[in-house]
Amino acid sequence: MLGLKLPTDPRWVNIVEKNIEEILTDHAYCEQKATSTAISLIVSFPEYTDLVQEMVALVKEEISHFKMVHDLIIENGWILGRDRKDDYVLRLITFFPKGGSRTTQLVHRLLYAALIEARSCERFRLLSEELEDKSLAEFYRKLMVSEANHYTMFLGFARQYGDRTEVDKKWNDLLEYEAQIMQDLSKKETIHG
């Protein structure tokens, strides 16, 4: 369903289980960045009323996810660590050339967002199936459903605002590029890397 060309190596969960505090900190910042992305789309493209409406709802959902993860951190007696670079996202967003029409820029941002959500969904599925901590596994199962909805929403908007044939080609090319990136990742206790 997600279209990812290279699945995450299931052994990634073993890395995560050795440092749950680290994955939760990284996850919290992923939720915060997703909130920021939705706000940025509102600010950058206010004329797309249906997009703005969905992004307002997304801001509320993503910040509630941040709170849920932050609450887990507190419940475990930890504190939220500092934000760190997301190598996955930094590499991913170099795929499309800068510039172009406003519509092209919007489509590219929507495709990036769709892919980030798709990879998060795939990672959350792995965590929900493989984590020994069943409570945490259930937490990730619930979030997996949200990520799947976000992925389809962003991809749907890209197809709505851009030429469908062109958008689908860009999407497939981006999926191929992402698979190359993923060959070097899955070695750290981070949501994407």
pLDDT band at 185 (very low <50, low <70, confident <90, very high): confident
Range of the domain at 19: 10-184
What would the pLDDT profile of 29-47 be if each residue is shown by its tens digit? 999 999 999 999 999 999 9
Q: What is the mean pLDDT of residues 53-65?
A: 98
Are residues 80 and 153 in contact, defined by beta-carbon separation less than 8 angstroms?
Answer: no
Q: Is residue 132 part of a domain?
A: yes
For the cut 80, the answer to whether the pLDDT of residue 136 exceeds it is yes
The rounded distance, in Å, linking the Cα atoms of 41 and 37 is 6
173 and 115 in contact (C-beta within 8 Å)? no
How many structural domains are present in the chain? Answer: 1
What is the domain-level CATH number for residue 160?
1.20.1260.10
Domain-embedded: residue 1: no
**Domain-embedded: residue 80:** yes
φ and ψ at residue 55, rounded to 5 degrees? -70, -35
The model's pTM is: 0.94
Domain presence at residue 4: no
